[in-house]
Amino acid sequence: MSQTPLPRQPELNLGTLGHVDNGKSTLVQSLTGVWTPRHSEELRRGITIKVGYADAAFYKCPNCSGPGCYCVKGKCPNCDGNAEFLRAVSFVDCPGHHSLMITMLSGAALMDGALLVLAANARCPQPQDREHLAATEIVGINKVVVVQNKIDIVTRDRAVESYKEIRAFTKGTKIEDAPIIPVSAAHSTNIDLLVKTVEERIPTPKRDPAKPPKMFVVRSFDVNKPGTPYNKILGGVIGGTIVEGEFSVGDEIEIVPGIHTEKGGKSSYEPLTTTITSLQAGGRQVENARCGGLVGVGTLLDPSLTKADGLVGDVIGEPGHLPPLWRTLPLDVTLFDKVVGTEDQVKVEKIKFHEPLVTNVNTSVSAGVVTSIKDSVIEIDLRRPVCAQPDERVSISRRVGEGWRLIGYGIIKK
């Protein structure tokens, strides 16, 4: 899933968060050489619409000192000597536009750490800066580096003022002590210092390869070009992150909730089973794929099932070893005081009986209606079931104005 093969499979998922105009995709391009918005509408509008992804390798030159010894290429830009490989990283580039907050929450579920990208030329915080910061706390992202971008287009006085705004914005949050790194993503200025800070502040999480494998799906594709002969058609491809265990070529897998069916006038979902035919990680074909990074899984599925992100939000694992499937979702709810993604900070009212809500759990998005309320515990009848463990956190959004806004979170009750 990368244009340039890496020395090793990625072991860390690093997200980019922040308002739509803060330069997240430009920063990822500066680090990876890849422009993550690839969809035609993204290119036309100049914004990220889908969750983007790109891989990078971090290096350190043994002959140089200071931040300048860190780089993203095997050759040191200072002395032209060979730099030592540190680790491979997958970047998860999330949309910053308010109308795409639901998509952003799906991407956040994949992150081991994040870069909160803020623009020095704009007043901080912008509405989606607040919303994205709240999202990090909901999904449990506590390893964050703040990036003060666009320092090349502001005066020194404005850069200092922007720094003070950022400190005030993060005060009292879980990231109030996060380092703030000034950069110009457009000119790749201070990228070395940013890499050094990520290496020091965002470690690779400990994984247990012995656990039954589990993967969250964030993209799915039909890779066959129009007119491909029937005997050369490839099976559907699924992209996502392995969060537990390892997968190997030849493994039988189950995909849930699977495909929607109608039987006897009743709506239901049927799990899919298939075999892994190929694995791609770090821009190369591999026989085994482990936790961390973004992985492409080739299968024997009919590509009509995977085209146009048809399986986004599903969970993949060994048959019979996946978490429960919830059609009615019981949640112990915590609401924010205010709707964080609006300019005027609207007060969050209590959830109402029969109110429509949107939930995000891992990479799954599902709409539903509240069918029960008892104190802080609600039940939501979902249109599309979700596969999740009890005690997992679920983001909750309601319709506010013209869009769905984040209003709190819930813990799945056993």
Terminal Cα distance for the chain, rounded? 37
From first to last of its 414 residues, the chain has per-residue pLDDT tens of 445 689 999 999 998 888 878 888 899 999 999 887 644 333 333 433 467 788 999 999 999 999 999 999 999 999 999 999 999 999 988 764 444 456 556 667 788 999 999 999 999 998 788 888 888 888 888 899 999 999 999 999 999 999 999 999 999 999 999 999 999 999 999 999 999 999 999 999 988 888 999 999 999 999 999 999 999 999 999 999 999 999 999 999 999 999 999 887 788 999 999 999 999 999 899 999 999 888 999 999 999 999 999 999 999 999 999 999 999 999 999 999 988 767 777 899 999 999 999 999 998 999 999 999 999 999 999 999 999 999 999 999 999 887 888 899 999 998
The model carries a pTM of 0.88
**Sheet containing 180-182: order of strands:** 70-71, 52-60, 84-93, 12-17, 113-119, 144-149, 180-182
12-201: which CATH topology? Rossmann fold (3.40.50)
Task: Say if strands 180-182 and 144-149 run parallel, antiparallel, or are unpaired.
Answer: parallel
Architecture of the domain defined by 214-317: Beta Barrel (2.40)
For residue 92, give the 3-state DSSP assignment: strand
Domain boundaries for CATH 3.40.50.300 within the chain: 12-201
Architecture of the domain defined by 325-412: Beta Barrel (2.40)
Q: Which of 126, 136, 141 is nearest to 96 (CA)?
A: 126
Contact 157, 194 (CB under 8 A): no
Find where tokens 């300048």 sit.
68
Domain boundaries for CATH 2.40.30.10 within the chain: 214-317, 325-412
DSSP string, 294-343: -EEEEESS-HHHHGGGTTTT-EEESTT-SPPEEEEEEEEEEE-SB-TTST
∠ CA 186-189-195, rounded to 5°: 110
Determine the Cα–Cα distance for residues 321 and 253; give it in Å rounded to an integer.
10
Q: Which of 321, 309, 410, 328 is nearest to 369 (CA)?
A: 328
